[in-house]
Amino acid sequence: MPAFVHHITTLTPPFAYHQDFARDRLKDLAEDERTKRLIHAIYRRSGIVTRHSVYGDFLPDAEGSLFKFDEHGTLIPPTTGERNSVYAEWSRKLAVDLAGKLLAEVEDFTKDEVTHLIFASCTGFMNPGPDFHIIRELGLPQSVERYTLGFMGCYAAFPALRMAAQFCEANPDAVVLVMCLELCSLHMQSNAHQDTILANSLFADGAAAAIVSARSPAPKQPSYRLDGFVSSLVAAGEADMAWDIGDQGFNIVLSSYIPDIIQSSLRPIVEDVFQQKGLVPEDIDAWAVHPGGRAILDKVEQSLSLPATALETSRQVLRDYGNMSSATVLFVLKQMLADAGKEDALTCAIAFGPGLTVETALLTRLGVSSDDANALPMSAGAAYAEHAPAAPAV
């Protein structure tokens, strides 16, 4: 019995920074010309135009709520505890608002039908967490089973969806609310380390949520069928993407070699996934790749020999929102639903994270039905749908 993603909705916090403005503010904080040049070069190549944050501390005439300056204009770095306090406040607010938005938008589901809640985040900690407040403030059943996937990183949406699919496989009446919420900007640091500058140029705040169940989707609302998931590890990248908790936020390792490691390792991983499913890359109608950065998307495109337009949605999300860690690939999948036509589309989704971890998901985007849908030619996704495995997770 397959599981379906019936609806995806997204939310960003109220403060928006243009990438050029953020670049220049960070250059103002740099102590030497070399660091200023490095900041300028990295930001210029980012492929990002706008990012969102839960604080407006660097906007003109703003009174610093987290990042403050002394009388000489020197930045006073907030402690990890201070950053996490902002996470506790904003994650609760955004999570409740997003869950309410999702339940208001999704067709044929009510809050009383939700049986499970999976919350993924790697940018802060609180207990009781946002999942608890979603139930209390929105009046969901107190019997809702709650699960938190913490500190996994940019690929966490796939373990969350896989878990949701497994719940639906075990219980056909399960209705699972999946949420990924990340406040990456809380961990901005000002120093001359290239890893830090690269992280400052990429990461942003945002959240996305989905409803997953085994019910047949509404015929006039596009959805995804979850066809399978595969996890892979690239040992060569273990030391190139990682982070730990420091006294002034989370310390990130983000090597500039990551795109090259992905390029050299990705194709064998994807081909193995397809072989397990009896597919070839040419069967894929759409690619939903986590936009970890412009260089990563370039290397994925080259590694898989994709046409220039294949990652257009991923590039658009990167341009408009930046890298919101685990929430980002759900922004991509949501946009692809908005662009859905009448035909089904076999979709391959990929995300990367510490380890180096590669998560791959196969989904069938189910097109919107119409009176003449039967007259349309069958796409590769529709053909695959006839032979899709019964189990929603690998």
pLDDT tens, position by position, 94-145: 999 999 999 999 989 999 999 999 999 999 999 999 999 999 999 999 999 9
pTM: 0.92
| Count of domains forming the chain | 2
Q: How far apart are CA 3 and CA 212, in angstroms?
A: 7
Q: Are residues 45 and 160 in the same domain?
A: yes
pLDDT, tens digit (0-9, with 9 covering 90-100), for 157-185: 999 999 999 999 999 999 999 999 999 99
Q: Are residues 170 and 268 in the same domain?
A: no
Residue 217: predicted pLDDT: 94
Distances (CA, A) of 289 to 236, 265, 323: 21, 15, 12
d(CA 174, CA 168): 5
Across 334-354, b (16+ Cβ under 10 Å) vs e yields bbbbeebeebbbbbbbbbbbb
State how beta strands 286-289 and 345-353 pair: parallel
Task: Say if 393 falls within a structural domain.
Answer: no
Q: Are residues 132 and 274 in the same domain?
A: no
CATH of the domain at 318: 3.40.47.10
Are 200 and 324 part of one and the same domain?
no
Domain stop point among 185, 213, 241: 213
180 is catalytic: no
Looking at the structure, tell me whether residues 28 and 65 fall in a common domain: yes
pLDDT over threshold 90, residue 294:
yes
One-letter-per-residue 3-state SS of 293-359 = CHHHHHHHHHHCCCCCCCCHHHHHHHHHHCECHHHHHHHHHHHHHHCCCCCCEEEEEEEEECCCEEE
Based on the fold, state whether residues 206 and 285 are members of the same structural domain: no
Q: Which of 122, 154, 180, 348 is catalytic?
A: 154
By residue range, what is the domain housing residue 338?
223-366
* Alpha helix stretches (DSSP H) within 171-243: 194-202
Same domain, 273 and 200: no
Q: Is residue 77 part of a domain?
A: yes
Q: Look at 120-129, 255-264, 316-325, 362-371 and tell me which has the smallest mean pLDDT.
A: 362-371
Residue 377 lies in a domain: no
Residue 391 lies in a domain: no
Q: Which residues contact 88 (CB under 8 A, 6 or more apart)?
A: 124, 126
